[in-house]
Amino acid sequence: MDKKFLEDRLRELGIYSDYYHRLELKSLAAFLPYDEVVNCILTGFWEGSRRMIAITDSRIVVIAAGPMVQTNLTVIKRRAVKGWSFTRKLFLSSFSIETDERTFVFSMTQGAREKLFNWAMEQPVKEFEE
């Protein structure tokens, strides 16, 4: 997938203006194939650093990238997700994603993304061949 294709999807979702400047988009676009649909992007703190989280129709991609950070990707298969929750607070919103193996908790996220996050997690899961 190229960055412009990803940016067009962010415009469709109405969140382009919040993320167009994020350095992670370039790495994310290079990682995703064209047939994978991005349904939500948000950021949050996980394991001591700010990460971008992309929820697609087949996976959840957690990415850290930047001038002072080595690009780091963590992939959670959507089929492995057993549950999720979003806690909306004024400045301290957070969300969690639970799998059989562990629970991923992201803090200091955008509370305004709650509706989009829940919608994205409710979408049908497509099998993705690696």
Q: What is the pLDDT of residues 72-127, one digit of tens each?
A: 899 999 999 999 999 999 889 999 999 999 999 999 999 999 999 999 999 999 87
What percent of the chain has a predicted confidence (pLDDT) above 90?
A: 71
Q: CB-based burial of residue 120 (10 Å sphere; 0-12 exposed, 13-18 middle, 19+ buried)?
A: buried
The pLDDT score that the predictor gives to residue 105 is 97
List all residues 6 or more positions away from 24 whose beta carbon is below 8 Å from its beta carbon.
51, 52, 63, 64, 65, 66
Q: Under a CB-based contact definition with an 8 Å cutoff, are residues 25 and 2 in contact? A: no
Judge whether residue 129 has pLDDT over 60: no
Does pTM surpass 0.75? yes
CA-to-CA distance for 93 and 107, rounded, in angstroms? 6
